[in-house]
């Protein structure tokens, strides 16, 4: 749907080049459903981008996370550590397995805090016969599910070290960080399994879709099996487990192939947008950016500022993130707060949480700005002008 004139959206797809050509090839060859060369090629392309041996394409990113938890051995009645500050999908995926999320707070980069994770495991849990058990609930803590929030990679080496010491599997939610780098490697390589999303507002899109990546042959095979109804015999329709219909279609994969060809350009563009916002707003008191760690190369999926009411200029028309949100919305500029911290969500009443004050503070103050790779310089100039005038900065 075309945006109304003058409206500047938060994050919308950009057709980067050969989408139509490839989708047309699906129709011309009859490969439109969930088998065919495009799905295979798309999986190879994702594995190559992530630096992993395997990729398994799925119908959504949420489905990829669900499968990742299953192949990682998460069982009903287990617990899985999830950051409190995230879109709800990873916590929902934990619930789909019958396990319980435990919500832990964030670090200075707004990512799952490895130190808080360690303190939670050391003070509230104990090892019993090689298994990490939450003392209060008596449940096994099976896995940790860090999320690369807003495209910024988590401190994975630290999280892996802590997880390893407590026999937890690491499943990385990299749905916002395809194309990011952690130290010297692409996001996706490193954890036991990582998940991507190709939802419409992500870095690259298939309209809807996802993938998991892993180096383990057995896990990739198991994910593929579970994603196709766990079919043991394709002629007699004999099934060996409760499976899911989680496969991506060929049409979606064809679109994804074209999008993956321009992934690097899209990431560069999002980074340039973030850098321009940072420069243009640097002199405004009370306004800071999601910081980028020295070991990280974020996708800056959504450029996100933090507005501290205590230090914003007295002359500002908006002194906090929600007043600013209303002012931007009135100008036709789509901004968005971060997601309600999950320890406050009605979806998970009574869930355990640990060290979540920073998650609450970031949630109160953060606002994501228009970040589409297709955002024009003129539109970004307008966003900046409205931000500056609303926050009490002189125009520049």
Ligand X SMILES: *Cc1c(COP(=O)(O)O)cnc(C)c1O
The contact set with ligand X (CB under 6 A) reads 60-62, 86-87, 89-90, 147, 173, 175-176, 197, 199, 210
| Nearer CB in complex with ligand X: 296/386 | 296
Q: Considering the complex, what minimum distance in angstroms separates the CB of residue 290 from ligand X?
A: 14
| Nearer CB in complex with ligand X: 64/273 | 64
Q: Considering the complex, what minimum distance in angstroms separates the CB of residue 138 from ligand X?
A: 29
| Nearer CB in complex with ligand X: 180/284 | 180
340-349 contact pairs (CB < 8 A, 24+):
341/84, 341/85, 341/103, 342/82, 342/84, 342/85, 342/86, 342/88, 342/91, 342/101, 342/103, 343/84, 343/103, 345/88, 345/91, 347/88, 347/91, 347/92, 348/91, 348/95, 348/101, 348/103
Q: DSSP letter for 51, please.
A: T
Q: Considering the complex, what minimum distance in angstroms separates the CB of residue 111 from ligand X?
A: 11
| Nearer CB in complex with ligand X: 274/384 | 274
Distance CA 177, CA 150 (A): 7
Q: Considering the complex, what minimum distance in angstroms separates the CB of residue 200 from ligand X?
A: 8
Q: Considering the complex, what minimum distance in angstroms separates the CB of residue 122 from ligand X?
A: 27
Distance CA 31, CA 382 (A): 44
| Nearer CB in complex with ligand X: 281/366 | 366
Q: Considering the complex, what minimum distance in angstroms separates the CB of residue 195 from ligand X?
A: 7
For residues 34 and 201, the answer to whether their CB atoms sit within 8 Å is no
For residues 292 and 152, the answer to whether their CB atoms sit within 8 Å is yes
| Nearer CB in complex with ligand X: 92/137 | 92
Which two structure tokens, joined as six digits, stand for 272?
Answer: 């340039």
Q: Which residue is nearest to ligand X (CB)?
A: 61
Distance CA 87, CA 148 (A): 11
According to DSSP H, which parts of the chain are helical?
A: 19-29, 37-50, 61-71, 89-96, 114-124, 156-165, 217-227, 250-261, 263-281, 321-330, 357-365, 377-390
Distance CA 142, CA 71 (A): 12
| Nearer CB in complex with ligand X: 274/316 | 274
Which two structure tokens, joined as six digits, stand for 386?
Answer: 């409205």
Q: Considering the complex, what minimum distance in angstroms separates the CB of residue 67 from ligand X?
A: 12
| Nearer CB in complex with ligand X: 63/391 | 63
* Residue (of 374, 34, 33) closest to 204 by Cα position: 374
Cβ burial of 279 (10 Å; 0-12, 13-18, 19+) is: exposed
Q: Considering the complex, what minimum distance in angstroms separates the CB of residue 41 from ligand X?
A: 20
| Nearer CB in complex with ligand X: 195/375 | 195
Q: Considering the complex, what minimum distance in angstroms separates the CB of residue 313 from ligand X?
A: 33
Q: Considering the complex, what minimum distance in angstroms separates the CB of residue 254 from ligand X?
A: 18
For residues 76 and 263, the answer to whether their CB atoms sit within 8 Å is no
| Nearer CB in complex with ligand X: 86/192 | 86
Distance CA 62, CA 71 (A): 14
């Amino acid at each position: 749907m075309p945006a109304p004139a003058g409206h500047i959206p938060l994050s919308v797809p950009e057709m980067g080049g050969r989408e139509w050509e490839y989708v047309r090839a699906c129709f011309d060859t009859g490969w439109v459903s969930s088998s065919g060369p495009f799905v295979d090629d798309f999986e190879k392309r994702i594995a190559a981008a992530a630096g992993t041996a395997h990729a398994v394409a799925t119908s959504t990113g949420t489905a990829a996370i669900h499968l990742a938890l299953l192949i990682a051995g998460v069982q009903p009645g287990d617990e899985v550590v999830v950051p409190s500050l995230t879109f709800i999908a990873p916590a929902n995926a934990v619930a789909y397995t019958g396990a319980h999320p435990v919500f832990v707070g964030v670090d200075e980069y707004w990512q799952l805090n490895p130190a808080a994770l360690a303190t939670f495991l050391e003070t509230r849990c104990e090892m019993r016969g090689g298994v990490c058990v939450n003392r209060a609930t008596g449940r096994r803590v099976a896995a940790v599910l860090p999320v690369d929030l807003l495209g910024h990679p988590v401190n994975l080496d630290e999280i892996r070290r802590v997880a390893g010491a407590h026999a937890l599997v690491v499943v990385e939610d990299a749905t916002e960080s395809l194309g990011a780098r952690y130290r010297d490697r692409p996001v996706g390589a490193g954890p036991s399994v990582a998940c991507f999303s190709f939802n419409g507002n992500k870095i690259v899109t298939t309209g809807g879709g996802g993938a998991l990546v892993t180096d383990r042959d057995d896990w990739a095979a198991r994910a593929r099996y579970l994603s196709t109804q766990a079919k043991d015999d394709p002629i007699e329709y004999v099934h060996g487990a409760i499976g899911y219909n989680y496969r991506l279609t060929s049409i979606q994969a064809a679109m994804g192939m074209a999008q993956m060809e321009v992934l690097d350009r899209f990431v560069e563009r999002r980074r340039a947008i973030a850098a321009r916002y940072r420069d243009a707003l640097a002199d405004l008191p009370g306004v800071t950016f999601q910081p980028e760690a020295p070991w990280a190369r974020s996708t800056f999926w959504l450029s996100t500022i933090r507005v501290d009411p205590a230090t914003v200029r007295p002359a500002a028309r908006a002194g906090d993130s929600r007043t600013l949100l209303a002012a931007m919305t009135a100008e036709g500029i789509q901004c968005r707060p971060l997601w309600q911290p999950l320890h406050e969500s009605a979806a998970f009443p009574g869930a355990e949480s640990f060290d979540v004050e920073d998650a609450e503070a970031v949630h109160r103050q953060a606002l994501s700005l228009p970040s589409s790779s297709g955002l024009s310089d003129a539109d970004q100039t307008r966003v900046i002008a409205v931000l500056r005038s609303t926050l009490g900065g002189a125009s520049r």
